Chains A and B, each alone.
Chain A
Amino acid sequence: MAEKRESWGSKLGMILAMAGNAVGLGNFWRYPYQAAKNGGGTFMIPYFAALIFMGLPLMLVEWNLGRYGGKYGHGSLGPMIYLQAREGVSPKTAAILGGICGAFAMSVTVLVNSYYNHIIGWTLGYAWLSITGAYMDQSISTGEFFVNYIQSPGLVFTFWIIALGALWLAVSGGVAKGIEVMAKFMMPTIYVVGAILIVRTLTLGTPVNPDWSPLKGLEFVWTPRWEDLNWNAALAAAGQIFFTLSIGMGIMCNYASYLKPDEDIVLSGFCTVSLNEMAEVIMGGTIAIPIAYTYLGIDGMQAGVGLSFISLPNIFRVMGGGQIFGAFWFILLAFAGITSAVAMYQYLVALLEESLGMPKKKAATMIFFLYILVGLPVCLEPILTKTADLAYFTEIDNWVGSYLLVVLGGIEIIVAAWINGKNTLEQINHGSYWKIPTWFYKIFMQIICPCYTILIVVMSTFDYMKAGYFKMIPSFVANSPQLVPWVNGARVVMIAVFTFGFIQAYKTIKRHYGVELESGQVSIRK
């Protein structure tokens, strides 16, 4: 099985695809509003702490899980976790751990993409509307325009299907000829368009208020306010690190499974993180926030999720060349989204190939229809209820798109650093150009990262309890009874996908390593 697996065409293509996996909507859409909402400079302190203490170690762990699993012919997370966990616990316990992680990864790749693909569709739609100047009419507020957009079946469905079609095309082309080729085109384009937008942003001047300028916006982000540090900012920062690096999802592991067994992972992992941070901190932080500050002042920093789709179009309406720069902005978002969504898509295709032996094109087509099925509630809710609360989307994002990532990251680091122990260090350093020193492994990966991740899981749990997310009727729909069925529907879907994911992952492990589960001894090695 291992001999038949695909592999990356070139190192540069692989790095661009890996960076594309990480560089996504999180960098340009989520990061600016998270940073703005959580106090700018106050957010940056826990952000960098989370990057160094959790992000980097987990990135190495996921690359290693993937490359090691790939050697055994696996592209999905369940068997990868099993292979490492069996070194420290009984094969049966390892299989259960693998089943749980496989279920989490399936939940993320199925359900996060159920709304993520829609956001890509919105960005494509808004790119088109920017070119045609559709939202330039100042008689209608951009908030109202956005609500009208998500309640328009024609627009929503058209651009959603286009986004899904682009993903299908890339995945069905294969790892080297589809995903890699796409990354080689889209990633440089993202950096070039990002650079153009930065130059335009920094030359905006003070068109509204002499005290509102791009530099003031940058000052807001880069003034470290130690006295304002708080748990909310720390949790938001940790969540952002997981989302932006695409860790705790299983998709980095899947891409790494296409590496050859002796290929470097340390330098490649660091390179991926660096390219992602360049796109996020330098580009994401120097476009949306300074633009919003220049035109809206400090109030523009409170826009939240609406920063990209509501606040910025307001500005594109009045800035010189707004139509063109609006189109650039939304194309940038779309490309970033596609390069990440394709990794989630690919994970599920690999899973079908691995567990059912299905040909790639057929698997890609099946996932295309699966994404339509799971994405329907996201777009039908605003259309049918004539609301814009996106309760189904919010419920899925709260649990699968945020909480589960940290929990899965926690299990991964415990399996790798504590259960697999020293073997993980040897595996990581095998074939790598840069070697991880033992002291770094012990301090960062065996002590700080697991403890930090467990702390974040515990604090997030308290935070969710306080926010009322555990209630039968969560707080965010308490005053909108018509949305309660959508939230309950989301919960049923999440439980169903998780259960199916567990069974699928456990069965895959049992099919490959049944002998070990029965004997309680590790006997299959490659």
Chain B
Amino acid sequence: MSGTSLAFLLITWGIILGAVVITLSALLKHEKGNS
């Protein structure tokens, strides 16, 4: 894979996975706090 393609892939995957972890953990934290 070329450097540009790899960078595009890694950045995008990183953003998506980061968003999943951040939003899911924040939701569960709030849920725990409310229960």
Contact = CB atoms under 8 A, between A and B. Distances in A.
Interface of A: 10-12, 15, 41, 44, 48, 215, 218-219, 221-224, 264, 267-268, 270-271, 273-275, 277-278, 281-282, 433-434
A215 B2 CA distance: 10
Interface in B10-33: 12-13, 16-17, 19-20, 23-24, 26-28, 30-31
A278 B20 contact: yes
Contacts of B26: 267, 433-434
A282 B17 contact: yes
Report the interface size class on chain B: 20 to 34
Nearest to A10: B31
Judged by DSSP, the binding face of B is helix
Nearest to B24: A271
Given A223-B4, A274-B16, A218 B23 contact: no
Contacts of A10: 31
Contacts of B1: 215, 218-219, 222
B30 A281 contact: no
6 contacts: A10-B31, A11-B30, A12-B28, A44-B8, A223-B8, A282-B13
A215 B1 CA distance: 6
Contacts of B16: 274, 277-278, 281-282
A136 B13 CA distance: 35
Nearest to B6: A222
Identify the 10 closest CB pairs spanning chains A and B, nearest first.
A271-B23, A274-B19, A222-B5, A222-B9, A11-B31, A274-B20, A223-B5, A219-B1, A219-B5, A222-B8
B31 A274 contact: no
A267 B2 CA distance: 35
A30 B31 CA distance: 34
A218 B5 contact: yes
A221 B27 CA distance: 32
B8 A224 contact: yes
Contacts of A281: 12-13, 16
Nearest to B13: A282
Contact of A267 (B5, B9, B20, B23): B23
A183 to B, nearest CB: 14
Nearest to A213: B1
A145 B13 CA distance: 36
Nearest to B12: A281
Contacts of A277: 16, 19
Contact of B4 (A224, A267, A271): A224
Residue among A11, A222, A275 with the most chain B CB within 10 A?
A: A222
Contacts of B5: 41, 218-219, 222-223
A275 B20 CA distance: 6
Contacts of B31: 10-12
Contacts of A215: 1
Nearest to B26: A267
Contacts of A224: 4, 8
A452 to B, nearest CB: 20
Q: Which of B2, B13, B16, B28 has the most CB of A within 10 A?
A: B16
A12 B27 CA distance: 8
A268 B4 CA distance: 33
A86 B6 CA distance: 50
A281 B30 CA distance: 28
A15 B25 CA distance: 12
B27 A271 contact: yes
A222 B6 CA distance: 7
A223 B23 CA distance: 28
Given A11-B31, A215-B1, A270-B23, 5 more contacts: A44-B8, A44-B12, A222-B1, A222-B5, A267-B26
B2 A219 contact: yes
B23 to A, nearest CB: 4
B8 to A, nearest CB: 5
Contacts of A223: 2, 4-5, 8
A281 B9 CA distance: 10
Given A219-B1, A278-B17, A282-B16, A268 B27 contact: yes
A433 B2 contact: no
Contacts of A219: 1-2, 5
A278 B27 CA distance: 17
Q: Which of A44, A215, A223 has the most CB of B within 10 A?
A: A223
Contacts of A222: 1, 5-6, 8-9, 12
Contacts of B28: 11-12
A222 B1 CA distance: 9
